[in-house]
């Protein structure tokens, strides 16, 4: 049986995942306005992934017969000076999410909740991927610098990204 402490922490994480979705949707709108529609598309896929992460956590709480309590989503930033700045904020944010997921794992360990630990392992793997992708995009933007041709190529590449329903939702 899931503890009240872990239930509250997962509910808080659901809110954080929805805030993340809202942040990425905001980034998509700003980047779209800057004329990089492919990069904006990449952020829209991030938006969908974060919503899926929240849904996975909701489903888990339901499976544990625990109550889901949705809290208001805090305001997000709406403008970034450059695409690089948006990707730097993405990397910073994903590192914060990793710390939050690690905290959930710590609570599951304290509770000796093997089901929760097993459930959270998927998120650990997901965060490794999220941080690596964000780091790569920061590095690519730094390499491109002010060369518009490079940004146009990156825009085209990121515009080809497709959303895939995460395994825990299939």
Greatest alpha-carbon span in the chain: 56
Band (20; pLDDT cuts 50, 70, 90): very high
Name the one residue in this structure whose structure tokens are 């991927």: 129
pLDDT-based confidence at residue 50 (cuts at 50, 70, 90): very high
- Residue 107's pLDDT band (boundaries 50, 70, 90)? very high
- Mean pLDDT, the chain, integer: 97
Q: Is the per-residue pLDDT at 170 higher than 90?
A: no
Architecture of domain 4-159: Up-down Bundle (1.20)
pLDDT value of position 64: 98
Domain ranges of the chain: 4-159
Task: Give a three-class secondary structure readout of 5-60.
Answer: HHHHHHHHHHHHHHHHHHHHHHHHHHHHHCCCHHHHHHHHHHHHHHHHHHHHHHHH
**CB count in 10 Å sphere of residue 93:** 18
In 3D, which of 38, 77, 73 has the Cα closest to residue 160?
A: 38
Q: pLDDT by residue (tens digit) across 116-161?
A: 999 999 999 999 999 999 999 999 999 999 999 999 999 999 999 9
Cα of 140 vs its chain's centroid, Å = 20
SS3 149: helix
Strands (E), 96-137: none
- The pTM (predicted TM-score) of the whole model is 0.96
HSE of 12, CA atoms in CB hemisphere, 13 A: 11
DSSP-assigned states of every residue in 83-113: HHHHHHHHHHHHHHHHHHHHHHHHHHHHHT-
* Structural tokens at position 89: 């904020």
């Amino acid at each position: 049986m899931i503890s009240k402490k872990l239930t509250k922490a997962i509910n808080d994480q659901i809110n954080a995942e929805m805030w993340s979705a809202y942040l990425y949707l905001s980034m998509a709108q700003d980047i779209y306005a800057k004329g990089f529609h492919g990069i904006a598309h990449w952020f829209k896929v991030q938006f969908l992934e974060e919503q899926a992460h929240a849904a996975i956590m909701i489903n888990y709480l339901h499976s544990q017969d625990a109550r889901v309590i949705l809290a208001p989503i805090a305001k997000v930033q709406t403008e970034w000076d450059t695409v690089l700045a948006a990707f730097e904020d993405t990397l910073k944010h994903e590192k914060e999410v990793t710390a939050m997921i690690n905290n959930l794992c710590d609570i599951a360990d304290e509770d000796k909740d093997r089901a929760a630990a097993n459930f959270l392992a998927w998120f650990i793997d997901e965060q490794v991927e999220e941080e690596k992708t964000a780091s790569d995009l920061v590095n690519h933007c730094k390499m491109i610098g002010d060369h518009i041709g490079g940004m146009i190529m990156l825009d085209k590449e990121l515009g080809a990204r497709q959303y895939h329903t995460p395994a825990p939702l299939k």
